[in-house]
Structure 1
Amino acid sequence: MIRRVNSFLERFRHDTQGAVLTEALIVVPFIVFFASGILEFGSIFWEKQIIETGLRDAARFVARCQSAETFNAACRDKANDGTVAGKTVAARIAFYGTADEDATALRWCRWRPVAAPDGACGTAKALLAAPITFEIVDRSMVVNGTTVSQKVVTARTNYQHQVMSFLAPAWPIFGWAGLETITVQAFHEERYLGW
């Protein structure tokens, strides 16, 4: 019995028919998984770049606003809560790329100021709102032995990235790994200038 098993294994080891198919069955799943990971993380980096561009534009706008409302009407905050001047207009600049109140075309349809229902922008799940927070803080730094205080504007948001919709049903491994949504944090800082 052992001789038969050994002869079968010996014949199997020297036989080359089907070797390419066997190698492909072993290698292709890893290549496909690796390629889908490249696409997914490339998508995350692309979305983060768009969000950081919006935050940069919004932070630049706020950095140019004076705290007194008499300098520029655009810097006046419509919420009138007194925290950061111009944050309503700045948020519109971040999300829509313009200060126009009638703008409807978002920079990226999945990054939005208000929640959206299922199916919006080709997603399987509802899109969450991604509010932007602005703050102005004093930073101290030493320049040539002298301590200097500089105001810095920070625009910050958290964005829930959803796994690409065309991969989600076909790739349950993302769900098994707990990667159905990934929180992307983005922020931008600008030196406070005023008008």
Structure 2
Amino acid sequence: MLTALKQILQRFKRDDDGAVLVEMTLVTPFVLLLSAGVFEFGNILNTRMLLDAGVRDAARYMARCSSDWDTCSGLAKNLAVNGAVTGGSARVTGWTVGEVTIIKSFSTQAVDPTTGTEFYLSTTANVDVVQVSTTFPYANLGLWSYLGFPQLNLTVFHQERVLGW
């Protein structure tokens, strides 16, 4: 009886049938999870880059616009969101002109006091600066939302020295 049990165990040790199936069963969920994470991170990065390009374009437009503030800011917001001053198509689905903020400020410091770095090339110490910013709620995290990850808010801003007005 013991010898028969030993023979069965010896055959079982040498048998490799099904080993690949077991390994794939263990590894597949982790590979799928990793792939979903890579794809979702790529989508988030692409959205962030599109937001950044829009905000940068709007800040540059505002810095050089020669019309009044309200007209320029409306056109700049449309440029940020739709890629054109009038019309255009949405850069990011769900991003609206209401989420774009444009602020004109007055910089009294053209030089960083700690490093001596010059912020804006200017003959005066006072420089007009326009800052365009947005916060976009990236709600659809796909598989990651099922794992308990919260909504992601992408915040972008760009600052330019005003050359117009």
Q: TM-score, normalised by structure 1?
A: 0.65
1:189 partner letter = Q
Instruction: Provide the residue aligned with 1:124 in structure 2.
Output: none
Secondary structure of 1:135's aligned partner: strand
Give the Å deviation of 1:154: 1.4
Secondary structure of 2:110's aligned partner: strand
**Between the two proteins, what is the percent identity of the paired residues?**
29
User: CA offsets per residue over residues 46-83 of structure 1, 9 Å max, x none?
Assistant: 01111111111110111113xxxxxx33x4415xxxxx
Instruction: Provide the residue aligned with 2:137 in structure 1.
Output: 160
Alignment of 1:17-166 (within 5 A): 17-65=17-65, 72-73=66-67, 75-78=68-71, 86-100=72-86, 103=87, 105-113=89-97, 131-137=99-105, 138=107, 139-141=109-111, 142=116, 148-163=125-140
- Cα RMSD over matched residues? 3.0
Q: Any stretches of 5+ residues in structure 1 without a counterpart? A: 66-71, 79-85, 114-129
User: Judging changes above 3 Å, is the alpha-carbon distance between structure 1 residues 110 and 14 closer, same or farther for their aligned structure 2 residues?
Assistant: farther
Q: Any stretches of 5+ residues in structure 2 without a counterpart? A: 119-123
Does the 8 Å contact 1:58/1:155 carry over to 2? yes
Does the 8 Å contact 1:161/1:183 carry over to 2? yes
Secondary structure of 1:107's aligned partner: coil
User: Judging changes above 3 Å, is the alpha-carbon distance between structure 1 residues 151 and 9 closer, same or farther for their aligned structure 2 residues?
Assistant: farther
Q: TM-score, normalised by structure 2?
A: 0.75
Give the Å deviation of 1:104: 5.7
Give the Å deviation of 1:191: 2.1
User: Judging changes above 3 Å, is the alpha-carbon distance between structure 1 residues 56 and 163 closer, same or farther for their aligned structure 2 residues?
Assistant: same
Higher helix share goes to which structure? Answer: 2
Structure 1 CA distance, aligned partners of 2:8 and 2:162?
79
User: Judging changes above 3 Å, is the alpha-carbon distance between structure 1 residues 194 and 21 closer, same or farther for their aligned structure 2 residues?
Assistant: same
2:29 partner letter = P
User: Judging changes above 3 Å, is the alpha-carbon distance between structure 1 residues 99 and 36 closer, same or farther for their aligned structure 2 residues?
Assistant: same
Counterpart among 157, 171, 177 of residue 148 in structure 2: 177
Structure 2 CA distance, aligned partners of 1:47 and 1:178?
18
Task: Give the length in aligned residue pairs.
Answer: 152
Structure 2 CA distance, aligned partners of 1:41 and 1:9?
48
Structure 2 CA distance, aligned partners of 1:36 and 1:140?
46
Structure 2 CA distance, aligned partners of 1:8 and 1:111?
67
Give the Å deviation of 1:159: 0.4
User: Judging changes above 3 Å, is the alpha-carbon distance between structure 1 residues 29 and 7 closer, same or farther for their aligned structure 2 residues?
Assistant: farther
Secondary structure of 1:140's aligned partner: coil
Structure 2 CA distance, aligned partners of 1:136 and 1:32?
47
Structure 2 CA distance, aligned partners of 1:134 and 1:9?
76
